[in-house]
Structure 1
């Protein structure tokens, strides 16, 4: 397999609307750290795949299709586009159910993605790929609970090795990258940028993606809301990865099986799911304010024609002994773990990438308690389980193709 990496900056415009929070009183007016667009290309001799990850709150399907069209002109056979989900960047049409990408932002993103992809193609070299997983304590917790309930966060990393050294890493953290406060008005990659800074070296590139982070954030674990706290939390991830990431011991599978799609039809949220009869144990402050925002967004959603089901596409592809799954929305951590368990196979690692190839919104499970996340979701409870089933089905089709390749 040949793998290459490229990166470009996403230009911001002073005063443009910021994404991520519904009650933002201002637009962008500064830069804490540059927003980046990364591209990683993989080629096995028959197929070339590109993974593009941008420091945005989301990528909608319209801009994904335009980037894919541009990538085809660069000899890319298949392409995924994902967002880190930073809340410290331009508004990208991150509305429940999806929305058009602002045209001027779309042009900037497309241009940066093509430059990054061209750089990745020029950087391609013989490499091997394997996955590793670490568990990080004190990083984050379930954000829809009124108080901290400690959990160790599973962080996945795709390790690219070349000539006996780690040449690059794709780190996928199931944590909302939202350390900075809602009244911040400076551009930043937030926690994703901190992870990149903590791990990259002059000879090793790092891409930071976001996994099934729908209910996970640093709300109860952070000690501040500034760049110093970003770096402190990122160091927790980096310290665990430094001890657990090594170059590949021996060449592994170099098979690249193109993305397998699985479409799933989701019922629109019902009126009874658009209300919160109590405050969920919240006693004041920002938590109650956010819950009230959820109630307002849910009322607005119900006021529109909201009876048509939503249809989304989950995809899975094989990169050597890794099955990578892309979900176009905000899956909860336990559902991501269900995909990992349900798609498991001997010798195969399963990694789930969220906010990829479109944006539907939160994908609640049947058991999800009423919260901001369920209120603003455009789909009914239980949609998360349907997405899990579709992802497992796509992964199963990949396994059949893996077996066919060995015959």
Structure 2
């Protein structure tokens, strides 16, 4: 197998709308740290490109245009994921997804093509291993009243060559929301800090986001500045062991597989019941404000009166001895871990990939912001898990029955 990496800066326009926070009314003011688009290519008989962009989301329209453009570069298949930074231009990140603003889509496409060309030039013989660290003190559940920290499982896909570790793709199931809603400067937030913390001469770093639907630094951060970003990223860098593999493993790049899942929208009765819930148990004023935002968004969703199901594609690919699973939305951490438990330890779950539906709630989640703003019924998360386990099994030849 040959693996390559390329990156390009993502251009931003002063004054353009910023995404991520429902109560944000200002536009881009400046640049705290540059937004980036990274492309990693995995080439055997089949060439796959993994695109990771510092955006709040990437909708299916933008992902489709990127796939078409990269085919011109002899890239056979392409996954496009967002880091979900809340300090980026708005990219159409609303429950259910919507068209990407045309100029954002144009800039994303240009940066991706440039990064993909650089990745192909950079390709060299390499092999893959995975490592995982349970990082204490990094993050916890965002759920109101649940302030206990959680040991966060951070995965890393390690790319080794004869000279050592050439690159690493980290996947952390944490909302990159250290910077606050009143921040006016674009930033990759926590993912950018992880890239900086793991950087080393001769080693590239890509930082993606996993099943982060209910996980953030809300109860663990000590501030909302770049210093706090660096402190949290240092926890990840300190726990991950990026050892080179001296034993080349399987080198095949298999064809990605996809499974379409149809998720029912919330019923009127479910919306009514959810919006009657209160945030009395919320730990702080900000949590109560966020809950109220969720109630408003839920009422707006109900007013659309959608009847047909949402169709989303859950995808998997086998690269060497590693299986990547792509989820087009915000899966809760326990559901991401359920995929791994059922499909095998060499599985890494990517969130915010190949489209954006919104939060994918489980059956047992009580009313929270995440369940309020989700466009789909409780239990949709479990439907996605079932599809992910099946499609992961299909790329390893061990499809679940």
Q: TM-score range by the shorter chain?
A: over 0.9
Pick one of 317, 333, 349 that aligns with 1:352. 349
CA distance in 1 between partners of 2:61 and 2:127 (Å): 33
Alignment of 1:29-68 (within 5 A): 29-44=29-44, 46-68=45-67
Alignment of 1:280-295 (within 5 A): 281-295=281-295
- Where structure 1 has 5 or more consecutive residues not aligned to the other structure, the ranges are 403-407
Q: Measure how far apart 1:16 and its partner are.
A: 0.3
Q: What's the counterpart of residue 146 of structure 1?
A: 145
Residues 134 and 153 in structure 2, CA contact (< 8 A), matched pair in contact too? yes
Residues 54 and 82 in structure 1, CA contact (< 8 A), matched pair in contact too? yes
Pick one of 360, 374, 385 that aligns with 2:382. 385
- Where structure 2 has 5 or more consecutive residues not aligned to the other structure, the ranges are none
Deviations along 1:224-243, one digit per CA (max 9) or x if unpaired, are: 001110000000000111xx
Pick one of 364, 387, 391 that aligns with 1:394. 391
Change (3 A) 1:192 1:277: same
TM-score by length of structure 1 reads 0.96
Q: What's the counterpart of residue 100 of structure 1?
A: 99
Residues 162 and 246 in structure 2, CA contact (< 8 A), matched pair in contact too? no
Alignment of 1:96-245 (within 5 A): 96-241=95-240, 244-245=241-242
CA distance in 2 between partners of 1:283 and 1:173 (Å): 25
CA distance in 2 between partners of 1:51 and 1:401 (Å): 24
Q: What's the counterpart of residue 365 of structure 1?
A: 362
Q: 4+ residue stretches of structure 1 with deviation over 6 A?
A: none
Q: What's the counterpart of residue 337 of structure 1?
A: 337
- Residue 75 of structure 2 aligns to a residue whose secondary structure is coil
Q: How many residues align?
A: 396
Residues 316 and 391 in structure 1, CA contact (< 8 A), matched pair in contact too? yes
After alignment, is 267-276 or 374-383 more displaced? 267-276
Deviations along 1:118-173, one digit per CA (max 9) or x if unpaired, are: 00000000001111111100000001132421210000000000114000000000
TM-score by length of structure 2 reads 0.97
CA distance in 2 between partners of 1:25 and 1:92 (Å): 15
Change (3 A) 1:401 1:288: closer
Q: Measure how far apart 1:249 and its partner are.
A: 2.8
Residues 18 and 27 in structure 2, CA contact (< 8 A), matched pair in contact too? yes
CA distance in 2 between partners of 1:164 and 1:240 (Å): 23
Change (3 A) 1:118 1:369: same
Deviations along 1:195-216, one digit per CA (max 9) or x if unpaired, are: 0000112210000000000000
